[in-house]
Structure formats: C-alpha cells, structure tokens
Amino acid sequence: MMAIAFLFCIFLSRFLYVQAFWKEELLYRALDQWTREIPVVAERGKIFDRNGELLAGNGTAYSVYARANAVKDREESARVLSALFGGSYEEMLSKLSDRSRSEITLVKQAEKSFVQRIEGTNLPGVYYARDNRRVYPYASLASQVLGFTAMGSEGTTGLEKYYDRFLSGKNGEILYETDLVGVELEGASAAYLPATAGLNIRLTLDYRIQAIAEETMGRALATSSAKAAQCIVLDPNDFSILAMVNLPSYDLNDPPREDLSALNALSRNSLVSDIYEPGSTFKIVTAAADLEEWRRGNAAALSPSYVFASSRTRSVDGTSIKCWSDHKNGKHANQTLAEALNNSCNPCFVDIALALGKETFYSYLEAFRFGRATGVDFSGEAVGMLIPEGSVRDCDLARIGFGQTIAVSPIQLACAAASAVNGGYYYTPHLLEEVFTDDGYVSERVGKTLVGRTVSEETSRLLSGMLEGVVRDGSGKHAYLEGYRVAGKTGTAQKYENGQIAQGKYVSSFVGYFPADAPRYLALVIVDEPQGSYYGSTVAAPCAAEIFKGIIDVMGIAPFEGGEG
C-alpha cells in the first residue's frame, strides 16, 4: 500500500510540474503543430539627418516560404521555383526536403512580380509574405556611418547596428489552422498578430555638409592619387557630428556582400576605429597646455613672448630632433610661440614638452582624453596608443610634443582641438539627436554632455588668435577665406611599417575652424599617402577651405563686419 501511495505521489508531482512549468512550452508546441504561420515583417525605423532629410528608408520586397510536410511533390516544386527565381534546382530540392524545421525560407527579398507567379503554379505548402528592403536614397552618402542591414532586417554595420534596438520593430504573424502535416484546413479562420514598427532616429549629420565634404575629399583622393581621404566636421559648441567622410566608399543599396574582404574594408569607419600619428596638428594640444600653465603661473611654462633658441636641432637622450626647414633667409630664425605655430617648428614644441615635464604634460593628455575612448555613439572606437607615464623617457616626451610617438584616432584629435578652442569645454561627441515615432512623439533626445574642462576660456582665446595667424600668415595659408576668420593647424606625418619609417609615405592633414573668435564649424581633413606634393599645407588645407566655403554658401553665412565676401 505504501508503494502505491508513493507512486501516486510521484505521478501527481510530475503532473503538477508539467502543468506549472511546461505549460507555455507545450501550448507553443501544440500551436506549432496545428497552425501555419505567415510572418508579418515589422517595418524598420527610418533614419533622417538633422534637417529631416531621409537617409535610410524602406521598400517592399517579398519572401517565399514552405512547409516541407505540406509540399506534395518536392521535385516538381523545386523545378518550378528554381526556374522562377533563377536558383539551383538541387539547392531548392534540398530545402524542400528538410523536415527538421516546420517552416523553411526559400527566397528572400524577391520582387512582387516574381512571387505573384507562385499563385498560378498550384504548389501546395509554398506561400509568400511581404518583407522589408532597406533603401538608401543617397546611395553612398555617409555609407560607413549609416551602415547596412542583413537583407533588410537586422542591422549589420554602422548606426544600423549600433541603434538596432530602436530601429528594429517586432514582427507579427498570421496564423492558419492546419492538419498534422501542415495542410491548411478548409474553412479555417485566421488569427492576425500585428507587427510593431521600429522607431525612427534623427542624426546630427547634415546631408548638405556631408555631400560638400564627400565631393571635396573625392577630388583630393583623385588628384593626389591617395590611398584614402577622410574628413570630420563637427560643431565645437556641443561636439555634434555634422559630417563623417571615409573614401573610398560604396553604394549602400548594393554592398559587395560576395567579397567579404572588400566589404569589411569599405564599410569600416576609420575615423573612429583606426589610429595614426597626428604629426604637427597635435601641436595645438601642446600649445594649449603651455599657455594654460603660463596663465596659472607655472614658472616652467614658456610665455607667449618667450623667444625660442634659433638652433634648428635639439638633442634629447642622445637623439637628434631637427626642424623640417629653415624659416628665414636660409637660417633657422628666433621665434615666439605664435611664430613657432606659423612655421610648425618641431624643436620649439620639444622645448615646451620638456619644460612642462612628464607629470604636467601627461595631466593635459589625460584631460584631452588621449589614450581613452571619447564615448562617441559608434561601435569599435579605438583608444589610441599612449606610452604609460611611468615608462615615458625624455626623448619620448619630446616627440609627443610635436605629434610623434603617440597614436590617436581622428575623432580623438578633432574633439581635442575643438575643446582647445571652444573655451576649454570637452563634450561627448555624438551622432544621434533624437528617437521618435511616425506620429512625431519623441521618446529620447540627446543633448550635449559635458565631460570636463581642458583649459580656461582665456587660454582658448589666446590660442585661437595664434591659430588664426597660422592661416593668415603661416603654413595654413591655403585655408584662408577672405572676409571669414579661419584658424587652424597643418600636419605632415611620416608613416611607419613594421616599426620602420616607410619611405615616401605620408599622412597630410589639417584641422581648422571658423569663425576663429566664436567657432561654429571645425573640420579635420586627412589625406593618406598622397602622391607628389604631400605637405598638409598644400594637400589638406585647401580641402578645408573648400568645405568651409561650401558651408558658408549653404548656410548663407555673411562675412565679418568690414570683411569682403
């Protein structure tokens, strides 16, 4: 009797367990056995620029499905379907013979005219449903930033992937009652579970500025036979990104999916994910650190009136560092900090770095967020390469002062330069402006986020005046625009391969902004391995001038009072 009672308890416990814990799964299995599901694909959220211009939308496509159990003649069905859609008969037959799944996807992203032909073929167990096709109205515009989706649904790269949580909706389905082998029951009713559309996102990008920058950098790429051409344009007042250009590029509507190597290379946003030695554009940071320490009363800092030694060479830890050229009448001239920026004189910035010392200089590198991520809303951000403070030697510190022995990402440098000249405010750079529904409800809005201070407003004004002089009188003359106060700094950096200087390979760059007294637009231009002339002053600076001129025309910006347009 005890044994019977014991067995009864076991069976009762099992029954209760199944009822309590397996209920949902068993209901799902029963539903799967007795229904056929036709998916209702959710419309993916759209992507707009800051002006409301559509950058990524949706078109209609169709997908074809089959229930292997309900297919009566697999060979005939495979023959008809492979003929309709141009696929392999053997591959189609293999799919139709797969009984391990209740539903099989045969074709995706097909045109309606193709799938409509199925209706007259009398193929039991084969059906189709509407799908999404991602459409990019501007084709290659901002391709590495926007990214693309996996056949119209899940985000694969770029912002399509980063903000997939907003853009992807929730699929629905239509349920038809079927018999055990999946054949629809005559007169059976259908249940409709609606899809939920994804949310839309508005970016900080301005498609007009993006187009201007891409056209300008495209010409630079072609005329200099360069390996690549890049540009970031951002607003120094909140670090919202107005344009991001990576060339060469590709058509988002037709990415080279068959060539993974090419696809990975072309879809990479190198402005965020790659690093390089910035060269003389980094002197903005060194000058800012020196001016701020001088303003604070640090006796080691070199004042704006300090005259650097005229020697063209500095010797540090047994290594010799030379200036790239003579400055005046074949001689290396005495010069102040403003003149050193004009002439892009390396030895002067060696003097500054060594005068400030390792601890002080590294405190500014940290404040300008070198060696760490900026926090930009994009996957795969590089943190750069910075020798740990405890390991840096004087010869290393000297070279960091003029942009060598340090590697940065372009977004890091653009943000650092913006902070140095906007009053010393460092914000988190961002591409997203807001998330909203089709009826206009804003569910999330991104404002400017202050990370910290780098220098004082007084230092920023003083530095900006010097950088305006670089464009007016110095190496940045090719970025000068009559009637507009443009400021900036050129850079020409040698490239390294396998730890050695790569002969004849340079990175030409220029970081500039306007108006100099109240910056609204800052651009970092990079041309990788230009052929022929390779100086930042002759290759990159003119690109910035073209981009700024385009912005002036589009925005209708008047020249400063007393200037000529």
Is the bond preceding 515 in cis, omega lying within 30 degrees of 0?
Answer: yes
Q: Match 């910056």 to its residue by tokens.
A: 519
Distance CA 22, CA 492 (A): 68
Query: Is 280 a known active-site residue?
Result: yes
CB burial string 190-227: b at 16+ within 10 A, e below: eeeeebebbbbbbbbbbbbbbbbbbebbeebbeebebb
* Tokens representing residue 99 in the block: 């009984």
Using alpha carbons, list the distances in angstroms from residue 99 to 34, 74, 96, 104, 184. 16, 12, 8, 9, 17
Chain Cα centroid distance, residue 180: 50
Instruction: Tell me the Ramachandran region of residue 258: left when phi exceeds 0, alpha when psi lies from -120 to 50, beta otherwise.
Output: alpha
- Supply φ then ψ for residue 244, to 5 degrees: -140, 115
3-state SS track over 138-199: CCCCCHHHHCCEECCCEECCHHHHHCHHHHCCECEEEEEEECCCCCECCCCCEEEECCECCC
3-state SS track over 227-249: CEEEEEEEECCCCEEEEEEEECC
CB burial string 351-375: b at 16+ within 10 A, e below: bbbbbbebebbbebbebbbbbeebb
Active-site residue among 140, 153, 240, 280? 280
> For the CA atoms of 421, 426, 428, 434, what is the dihedral angle to 10 degrees?
-70
Catalytic annotation, residues: 280
